[in-house]
Amino acid sequence: MKSLTDQPGIPPAGGPQRTFGVEEEFLLVDPDTGQPVPVAEQALRHAPKNPRTGQGPVLALEVKQEQIEVVGPVCSTYQQMAQAIRQGRAMADTAARAVGARAAALATSPLAATPTLVPERRYLNMAARFHLTFREQLTCGLHVHVHVTSGEEGVAVLDRIRVWLPVLLALSANSPFWQGTNSGYASFRYQAWSRWPTAGPCEQFGSLQEYRRHVQELLATGVLLDEGMVYFDARLSRNHPTVEVRIADVCMEAEHATVLAAVARALVERAAQEWRAGMPAPRLPAAHLRLAGWMASEAGVEGNLLHPLRNSPCPATEAVQDLLAHIRPVLASFGDEDQVTAGLAHILASGNGAHKQREAMVASQSLAAVVMDAVERTHAAAASPHRRLRHLYAT
Domain ranges of the chain: 17-382
Segment holding 254, helix H or strand E: helix 254-276
Say how far apart CA 36 and CA 333 lie, in whole Å: 42
294 vs 183, 249, 287, 314, CA distance in Å?
Answer: 13, 14, 11, 14
Strand partners, 36: 29
Enter the CATH code of domain 17-382: 3.30.590.20
Say how far apart CA 282 and CA 297 lie, in whole Å: 22
**pTM, full prediction:** 0.92
What does the pLDDT profile of the chain (395 residues) look like in tens digits? 223 333 333 434 444 689 999 999 999 999 999 999 999 999 999 988 755 555 789 999 999 999 999 999 999 999 999 999 999 999 999 999 999 999 999 999 999 999 999 999 999 999 999 999 999 999 999 999 999 999 999 999 999 999 999 999 999 999 999 999 999 999 999 999 999 999 999 999 999 999 999 999 999 999 999 999 999 999 999 989 999 999 999 999 999 999 999 999 999 999 999 999 999 999 999 999 999 999 999 999 999 999 999 999 999 999 999 999 999 999 999 999 999 999 999 999 999 999 999 999 999 999 999 999 999 999 997 644 333 333 333 32
Q: Do residues 174 and 251 touch, judged by C-beta distance below 8 A?
A: yes
